[in-house]
Amino acid sequence: MEGESNETSSWQGLVNKPVYSSDGQEVGIVSAIQPLHLVVSFGPITTDKYLIPKSSIKNVERGIVYLKENTKFVGDNYRFE
């Protein structure tokens, strides 16, 4: 992630922040920070969960996390639940 260190405290600041794919679609909200991934959840009842590698984060700007990949790629490769 550009402009972010790998310190736990800086990653924890991303919890509850929205995540957008490279084509501008909302993927969900960061629900947990894991050592290698971000867990992103979408939907209030039947929640879709995405396991997003930290290396997929392009940047964080004004409290929004932007990914390097588009919606299709994110759906195909990162959704796990």
Partner 1 sequence: MEKTSIDNQSVSSTTTSVSTTSSSKLKTSYETFLQEAATLFPKVDQKLLLNILQFETTYKDWEGSVMLKIVYPATISDIDAKKDWIYKKYQRVSNIEEDRTLRFKAIRLYIEEIEKLLKEDPTIEYITGSATMTPSDAYASE
- Among 5, 36, 46, 62, contact with partner 1 (rule: CB under 8 A): 36
For residues 53 and 47, give the distance between their C-alpha atoms in angstroms, rounded to a whole number: 19
Backbone angles phi, psi at 4, to 5 degrees: -125, 140
- Among 37, 58, 68, 71, contact with partner 1 (rule: CB under 8 A): 37
Instruction: Tell me which residues in 42-61 interact with partner 1 (CB under 8 A).
Output: 51
SS3 8: helix
Q: With residue 72 as reference, give the H or E element that holds it.
A: helix 71-78
- Among 3, 24, 35, 44, contact with partner 1 (rule: CB under 8 A): 35
**Residue (3 or 6) nearer to partner 1, CB:** 6
